[in-house]
Structure 1
């Protein structure tokens, strides 16, 4: 991966879901151990077999999500940033930077440009999610002078029209629970993006919806990738360009 980030800690995505998978899987393993002395019973054998399948699925999903956050996400996000075709002089906005993995990777590709991240900093979306942690990671990676962090809602971005040359978002917009809210966030993204500016959005769900909303807003250059399997669950990338005025 270009500019592989190695010093900072970028946490685990959806930590409560990962925890639940691992806890449930472990409980079923304990249940299997407790039932083993009674495995002469056909019914108990059936239960042990069923519990084993559930435990395997839960533990596998939990560990795949950890792998995704710690390894696969680095590679996939590099591909996402490539879609912006940055020359180093852009002001780039990231919606939902969390602990800064993508934002910092963007900053590493900039020379005179700036990477701005706007987030509500919710720990339910990513473990240890806070602007202080993100800034600390940026300092460790040597790009704190190219980073700016803002607390704000994607549905009401605190920026003027046509403020940014490029926009990126990774696993963030789906956290808005209602369709109308996601639509507002995407329209806000277009509002603050300069005419001709590129955008790249990565998510594991709602991506077809994003394409529909963007097309309804007048974006003609928009594409949706096939499933990408470097992350778990698999993700897709929505990319395009805001129309010129």
Structure 2
């Protein structure tokens, strides 16, 4: 009997699948146009094929990112926190538990908590049950818990966590103010001296700005990471050891 392996989901699943189908249809559809129409339609055929192959390449890169690349990206994001092993860690928009479980492995004397709205548009087959199943397969079910909730109104008390992470999650909130709300909530739930690492494909400058406005220190933005598609940057920061 083969051992089950964890599945961390296909990011943007429906969009990626649609892109693949449309790309394949466009790439194939260009051939009969070239074969059975006059030369004046060759431009249309070439344009259709270029569009099709571009969609196929993009969907293939997105698939590879979800299956392989984001595992490498996760390790680099969590490494920025330099966890000791006894922390409580929050994963905001945890999805299938990629960072949640990665953090749980590094805190054998701690706990990792995930929260999500379980959208299947942002991640295919997303559910609390899928996340808990992955935690069990990875051997960390005893120190992982997940909650339903909106990252703009986290259901946790002030200063609950030693660290917080988020990966390709906060940008799903529509509008800058909503994203700023999520950042403020993360800061609120961090203990004094707590750390945050947020990786995203967009809006990291906004996150950094709000972290600074929330009195976080050591706010830094990394260079581009090419392990994921689209590429991403990570913003890190620390909450002062004493309240300001």
Q: SS in structure 2 opposite 1:155?
A: coil
Matched with 1:128 is 125
Q: In structure 2, which of residues 235, 238, 241 is the aligned counterpart of residue 238 of structure 1? A: 235
For 1:223, the equivalent position in structure 2 comes to 220
Distance 1:84 1:43 in 2: 59
Partner of 1:109: 106
**Structure 1 residue 34 displacement after superposition:** 2.5
SS in 2 for 1:108: helix
Q: 1:36 aligns with which of 34, 37, 47?
A: 34
Report deviation, 1:17.
1.7
Question: Residues 221 and 233 of structure 2 are in contact (CA less than 8 Å); yes or no, is this contact kept in structure 1?
Answer: yes
Residue 20 of structure 1 is aligned with which of 15, 18, 21? 18
Give CA-to-partner distance per residue, 1:158-214, whole Å, 9 cap, x none.
000000001001110000011111111000000000011011000001111111111
1:154 aligns with 2:114: no
Q: Give, in angstroms, the shift of residue 101 of structure 1.
A: 1.4
How many residues are paired up? 239
Structure 1 residue 47: Cα displacement = 1.6
Structure 2 gap ranges (5+): none
Contact 1:88 1:112 in 2 (8 A): yes
* Superposition TM-score, scaled by structure 2 size: 0.95
2:172 maps to 1:175: yes
Root-mean-square deviation (Å)? 1.2
Question: Which residue of structure 2 aligns with residue 163 of structure 1?
Answer: 160
Q: Secondary structure at the match of 1:158?
A: coil
Q: Which of the numbers 90, 93, 102 marks the counterpart of 1:96?
A: 93
TM-score by length of 1: 0.95
Shift in Å at residue 42 of structure 1?
2.1
Structure 1: tracts of 5 or more residues without a match: 1-5
Distance 1:37 1:240 in 2: 59
For 2:103 and 2:127, locate their aligned partners in 1 and report how far apart those are by CA, in whole Å. Answer: 19
Comparing 90-99 and 214-223, the one that deviates more: 214-223
Shift of 1:24: 1.5
